A and B are shown apart, each in its own frame.
Chain A
């Protein structure tokens, strides 16, 4: 396959991400048996991260190449990648709610409301990407961001901000500080989103998310370290 250097590097990073997350899925089986909301959401986050890595790798295959259907592949995978990111943002918020609010029923009631911004992002990408409102491709099938791209990103950032606010609200809870330094979870994702802008070309969002979920699981295991499994 005739890859450009940067696309090959993205492909390598995404492959590593998929392997890491599959390993995590295998090792977290014991926790899913507890049938808690947060555990199920955590599993969904892992699946979404695999989707992100796969779509990102497909974008790396299609980007800058001109085979038949490459443009459609580039744009559709791009749309699916950003939709996956939006779903991931929602899942992080639900996970944190599930960890901080003891009553799962209350959290379940909140989920439809939390889904609304996500639905808005999905609609935006599904309508906007084929029309070039958010992301478009040039004559060499290389993608670039349009000005309206800031809109769905702003909604996605709102999820991150909500997570920060929640971390602040629940900061005094003893178990929260012991098991869940939320600010630490968000650092890898933010770093992996910002760092590629400095060099351009290699997408690190999926691996950033993999590091984040690994941190989350370490926090989860700290809790398991102290509580008895029955």
Chain B
């Protein structure tokens, strides 16, 4: 089979992308277990990336081919590959949403708004496929009988939609970072830099490198997220003690003073209690398991009334599940060291 260099290189790029993503899916405990909602969304992103590679490979394999049905295959494959790209961006937006708000309900509340641009783009592509097949002209792109691809005005609309998704996720992360003082383990650069580089290479050269950019982005995103998972207690899904020293150093580095801590002590049903804490906690608070049935909820400085109301909410949820607990809380003073504050909190429980 005589394959030209641009086709071969693009195929290698797709193969490399599949190797990266498949390796991630097979090797990563986080993705393989799929116990957490974010790992399920990550898994969907990986599957989407592999499907994208398949269609991009078909696109490139159809270059310079001349047989009956080649145009039809090219049109369908190009439509499908573009749809996988926008689907990927929608999944990425949901992923960022979950990583920031940590709530399925939040995603469900916004999924309709998030999905509207996808439906618009899918509609455009389906109309484009129809007009290409019936009238031999396109609104997004067109492929003539010699399989020469040409962009149409609608193409820029679809790209604007895709850029809007990328900008929306960046805005979501930046806004959250500004609002909260807690460390955020999801970072923009590990994912966006390879994605943008892959897109730039695809635009300026004959090589299609979108999927390679996305695959590398997924790997880098996984790496940066796993840095955060070092601090997660797998049994109860909340942070472990190491997170407390990390957050202490983080606050010192950023010059953050003050804060609120609530300590809880339970004897049994630790998993259920942990779930309740994570459900009831405010968005800017973190739950840490200290061992020996003790949990601590840390957040920025709050009013006493807010803390008491929160404890009341937790008490109500625990009564429904017949869980008994003891609790105490404290507000960190400006000059108080994080270690001294923690000791003060734990002493209050005795």
Contacts and interface: CB of A to CB of B under 8 A. Distances in A.
Interface of A: 5-6, 8-9, 12-13, 16, 19-20, 23-24, 27-28, 30, 178, 181, 184, 188, 191, 195, 199, 202, 204, 207, 211, 214-215, 217-219, 221-222, 224-226, 228-230
Contacts of A20: 194, 216, 219
List 10 tightest A-B contacts by C-beta distance, closest first.
A5-B5, A27-B223, A9-B9, A221-B226, A218-B27, A222-B29, A229-B230, A215-B23, A229-B242, A224-B230
Contacts of B26: 184
A202 B194 contact: no
B205 interface: yes
17 contacts: A8-B5, A9-B5, A12-B207, A16-B13, A16-B216, A20-B219, A23-B190, A23-B194, A23-B223, A30-B230, A184-B27, A188-B23, A199-B3, A199-B8, A222-B27, A230-B242, A230-B245
Contact of B234 (A24, A184, A221, A226): A226
Contacts of A191: 19
Interface string B1-41: 00111101100110110011001101111100000000000
Contacts of B234: 225-226
B222 interface: yes
A150 to B, nearest CB: 26
Interface string B211-239: 01000100110111011011110100000
Contacts of A202: 5, 8-9, 12
Contact of B227 (A16, A27, A207, A214): A27
B240 interface: yes
Nearest to A17: B16
Nearest to B223: A27
B241 interface: yes
A122 to B, nearest CB: 29
B197 interface: yes
A228 B23 contact: no
Interface in B294-313: none
A19 B3 CA distance: 27
A219 B231 CA distance: 17
B207 A181 contact: no
Nearest to A19: B197
Nearest to A230: B242
A222 B28 contact: yes
B223 A217 contact: yes
B235 to A, nearest CB: 10
B242 A228 contact: yes
